[in-house]
Amino acid sequence: MRDGKVITTQPIGDLDQNILIKYMVGREMKERFPKGDRKPGEVIFEVKDLEAADPFVPDRKVLNGVSFNVHKGEILGIAGLMGSGRTELVMTLFGEYAKIVNGSIYLDGKDIKPTSAREAINSGLSLVPEDRKKMGLIMIQSILRNISLPNLNLFTRGLAINSYEETKACMKQAKSLTIKAPNLDVLAETLSGGNQQKVVISKWLLSKPKVLIMDDPTRGIDVGAKYEIYKLMNDLAENGVAIIMISSDLEEVMGMSDRIMVMCRGHSTVTLSGKDADKEHIMALATGVAVI
Amino acid sequence: MNISKPAEDQNESFRARFQRGIGRNIQSFILIFAVVIIWAIFYVLTKGSYLGSQNISNLFRQMSVTSLMSLGMLLVILTGGIDLSVGKLAGFVSVVVAYLQFNIWYTLLPNQVVLPAILSVICGLIVGLLFGALQGSIIAFGKLPSFIVTLGGQWLFNGLLLLVTQGKTIAANQPVFSTIGQGYIPPVWGWGIFVIIVAALLWNMFSGRRSKLKYGFQVRPLYLDLITVGVIVLVILAYVFSVNSYKGIPVPVMILAVAAVIMAFVVNNTRFGRYTYAYGGNNEAARLSGIDTKKLLFKIFMVMGGFAGLAGIVLASYVGYGTIAAGTGYELDVIAACILGGTSPLGGVGTIPGVLIGALVIASLTTGLQMLNVAPAWQYVVKAIILVAAVYLDVYFKTHRK
């Protein structure tokens, strides 16, 4: 099925993955990952020897020496096993999880230590969180309200929100991401996973971040929408946004990233350049088998 | 690109538009319909006197104290919380104000009437805001459930109320102060206010259309906007005409109207209002969107306290004295008005007009049953049935909509 219509019904023997994807997407998918033409610039975001304590068990360190940097217009992939501290890392960078006990975070040369999402956003970070339903969206609100929420200061004149400017800006953003919905008043809960994720990305793009953190951005969405999100990431990087992407899908990390940082048990191991990376090497680093 | 906005088709028939409008606001229409039915029943049962100008005047005056608090309670329930202390807080403010009027200003400012009234209002508001802020800070920064904190607050305010009154009744029927709750706006002024409202509605409509065009949105056909404004104007006209043939618009109703317009603006058009809805819809997503959720929660309970203070001032002036029983049980009417008005107890859904209509349903029932001399026991039973039935219908329509 696609766009509410039955496209075809065939015996399973006649199908392989590529044919199936072709029917689902409506065009031939030559490649899973679109090629970008990225020219990474200078370092914009840098994390040095970050250590952070568990918010509930102060003695336990969830981050135990993380260092990496991201260049302008670059996609940095973060690979690692479940529980290696990837999500904890990005939530901490966003000021919303662990308490930083050591180390520093530099954005555009400035030393920042956000203690809340608000501070992180103000300094130029944005986070597309891991769980869009629980953390990214307000499901009972419209697309419009979801996109404008972190950006209301842009539309506020004096006390009042200019709803026309708000609608116009959100509409432009929604159109550029090709969110499929009859209008912006549709509730987020009625959208498909891919469109929901596009709403989350829209709301963060409107705030013009310098560094966009995406925690498993393609989780639970179909191949067609995945491809669109990859293309979008390429566009953003080409326009100078630094992207940090977490993914559990190794192929995705390798297909999309310029460089890959591998995490293991709360610390960063090594940053590989995209073309040098292979699955076995990454897995060895992630499980701690390989010594650096 | 698949978004075509808005879903306004220039050629859509009036009938189709009408049906779509009804469908979108089904709950408000059910409630307005309920008010009409209730009024019709009582009109017949009381042989017409229910809709007499004196009773209309009293009906809206009686609902003003609890409705003022409903405006604040909407914000609280939107966050998914509750405030059980508002009745007693309003009662406490009413006796504080009565005490100030009777004991303090009388000796400090003899032979003055205007200044004491102004001071009483200021003090009443400050007391409400302070205790709202106290509860808000415990709930927001201490991370305690609002249910527990405000249950404690209810006892606290009851105790303070007993301390201030010493078990006695304090007179608050001084001139000027008593006009806050008992006064009327002279009919000539009432008509002046009506003209101003009509002018404001028309200005709002035309400036809205102009902005829409300026930003490149389609505008609805002019006649539709005019019909909408026309219906609102007719309702206000009927009200002003009715109360003017008695003594004029009651002052507390005017206070409520101004407060409601301000709050309707606040919840829809300010960041504070939007953040409140967002917090109620998903507090985690709201926080990750950069909202300072603790400060927001604190502010909301402070605003709630301010409305309880305002209601307490009106209450003292309206009944003319402060007593130990002041405000008892009001929180239940306030919460019921919000729920009847379509506010979701889970948070994130609710409107100011809905809450006002909810309050009107309750007030209509109460005054009607009183006029018929129904025993208080049965009044409670009828109100119980209406409340539960209304919420049941709401749930039913929401789950069986499509």
The residue range of the domain holding A21 is: 1-30
Residues 168-187 of A with CB under 8 A from B: 168, 171, 174-175, 178-185
A153, A157, A197: which is closest to A177 by C-alpha? A197
Task: Tell me the sheet residues that pair with A69.
Answer: A46
Q: Do B270 and A159 touch (CB under 8 A)?
A: yes
Q: Do A140 and B281 touch (CB under 8 A)?
A: yes
Contacts of A164 in chain B (CB under 8 A): 211-212, 214-215, 217
pLDDT in tens, A192-250: 888 999 999 999 999 889 999 999 998 888 888 888 899 889 988 988 899 999 988 88
A118, A120, A134: which is closest to A90 by C-alpha? A120
- Where would I find the beta strands (DSSP E) of B34-189? 170-171, 184-185
Nearest-CB residue to B274 (from A129, A152, A203): A152
A100/chain B closest Cα distance in angstroms = 18
Asked whether residue A17 is domain-assigned, the answer is yes
Alpha-carbon distance values, A54 to A59, A64, A135, A221 (Å)? 7, 11, 20, 31
Name the pLDDT band for A274 (thresholds 50, 70, 90): low
Torsion angle of the four alpha carbons B363, B395, B293, B278, in this order, in degrees rounded to the nearest 10: -110
B226-249 burial, b if ≥16 CB within 10 A, otherwise e? eeebeeebeebeebbebbbebbbb
- Is the pLDDT reported for residue B272 higher than 90? yes
Q: Do B281 and A122 touch (CB under 8 A)?
A: no
Asked whether residue A183 is domain-assigned, the answer is no
Torsion angle of the four alpha carbons A197, A198, A202, A204, in this order, in degrees rounded to the nearest 10: 30
Token pair 């906005």 in the structure block, residue: B5
Tell me the C-alpha distance between B384 and B380, whole Å.
6
Tell me the C-alpha distance between B383 and B389, whole Å.
10
Which SS3 state, helix, strand or coil, does residue A87 take?
A: helix
Q: Does A228 touch chain B (CB under 8 A)?
A: no
Dihedral over Cα of A165, A169, A174, A175: its sign? positive
B74-104 burial, b if ≥16 CB within 10 A, otherwise e? bbbbbbbbbbbbbbbbbbbbbbbbbbbbbee
Which SS3 state, helix, strand or coil, does residue B209 take?
A: helix
Residues 322-351 of B with CB under 8 A from A: 348-349
pLDDT in tens, A170-184: 999 999 888 888 889
pLDDT for res B22: 61
Residue at A36: amino acid letter: G
Nearest-CB residue to B3 (from A121, A141, A181): A181
B244, B241, B297: which is closest to B272 by C-alpha? B297
The tokens describing B75, both together, are: 């914000």
**N- to C-terminal Cα separation, chain A:** 47
Q: Do A145 and B211 touch (CB under 8 A)?
A: no
pLDDT in tens, A40-92: 788 889 888 888 888 888 788 888 888 888 999 899 988 888 878 888 888 88
Contacts of B6 in chain A (CB under 8 A): 183, 185
CB-based contacts of B23, cutoff 8 Å, min separation 6: none
Asked whether residue A205 is domain-assigned, the answer is no
Tell me the C-alpha distance between B238 and B235, whole Å.
5
Strands A259-264 and A267-273: antiparallel
Asked whether residue A92 is domain-assigned, the answer is no
Q: Do B2 and A138 touch (CB under 8 A)?
A: no
Q: Name the residue of chain A whose CA is nearest to B280's CA.
A: A138
Token pair 């326009």 in the structure block, residue: A239
Write out the H or E segment, with its range, that includes residue A237.
Answer: helix A223-238
Q: Does B285 touch chain A (CB under 8 A)?
A: yes
Which SS3 state, helix, strand or coil, does residue A33 take?
A: coil
The tokens describing B83, both together, are: 């405030």
pLDDT in tens, A106-148: 998 888 888 899 999 999 999 999 899 999 999 999 999 999 9
Contacts of A178 in chain B (CB under 8 A): 1-2
The answer to whether the beta carbons of residues B341 and B350 sit under 8 Å apart is yes
B63, B142, B22, B54: which is closest to B359 by C-alpha? B63
Token pair 């956003």 in the structure block, residue: A121
Q: What is the mean pLDDT of chain B?
A: 89
Asked whether residue A8 is domain-assigned, the answer is yes
Nearest-CB residue to A164 (from B217, B284, B289): B217
The tokens describing A126, both together, are: 């944005």
pLDDT for res A19: 79
pLDDT for res B4: 42
pLDDT in tens, B5-38: 444 444 556 666 666 666 666 777 778 888 899 9
B330/chain A closest Cα distance in angstroms = 30
pLDDT for res B1: 41
Q: Do B212 and A164 touch (CB under 8 A)?
A: yes
Contacts of B286 in chain A (CB under 8 A): 138, 149
What does the pLDDT average to over B150-171?
A: 93
Q: Do A94 and B271 touch (CB under 8 A)?
A: no
Q: Does B382 touch chain A (CB under 8 A)?
A: no
Q: How many beta carbons lie within 10 A of that of residue A23, not counting itself?
A: 13
**N- to C-terminal Cα separation, chain B:** 26
Structural domain tally of chain A?
Answer: 1
Q: Name the residue of chain A whose CA is nearest to B289's CA.
A: A150
Tell me the C-alpha distance between A7 and A166, whole Å.
38
For residue B402, give the DSSP letter.
Answer: -
Alpha-carbon distance values, B367 to A236, B36, B39, B56 (Å)? 63, 15, 11, 10
Q: Do A138 and B286 touch (CB under 8 A)?
A: yes
ipTM, 2 decimals? 0.86
Q: Do A140 and B290 touch (CB under 8 A)?
A: no
Q: Do A152 and B282 touch (CB under 8 A)?
A: no
At B145, phi and psi to the nearest 5? Answer: -65, 140
Q: Do B271 and A153 touch (CB under 8 A)?
A: yes
A contact test, residue of B215, B289, B291 with most A CBs within 10 A: B289
Q: What is the mean pLDDT of chain A?
A: 85
Tell me the C-alpha distance between B134 and B149, whole Å.
10
Dihedral over Cα of B389, B391, B392, B398: its sign? positive
Write out the H or E segment, with its range, that includes residue B339.
Answer: helix B330-340
What does the pLDDT average to over A13-21?
A: 78
Nearest-CB residue to B278 (from A127, A149, A153): A149
Domains and CATH numbers, chain B: 29-35+46-186+248-399 (1.10.3470)
Contacts of B291 in chain A (CB under 8 A): 118, 149
Q: Do B348 and A129 touch (CB under 8 A)?
A: no
CB-based contacts of B101, cutoff 8 Å, min separation 6: B116, B117, B120, B170, B171, B172, B174, B177, B316
Q: Name the residue of chain A whose CA is nearest to B287's CA.
A: A117
Contacts of B271 in chain A (CB under 8 A): 152-153, 156, 161
Tell me the C-alpha distance between B46 and B59, whole Å.
15
B326/chain A closest Cα distance in angstroms = 36
A261, A249, A252: which is closest to A233 by C-alpha? A252
Asked whether residue A160 is domain-assigned, the answer is no
Asked whether residue A14 is domain-assigned, the answer is yes
Q: Do B270 and A161 touch (CB under 8 A)?
A: yes
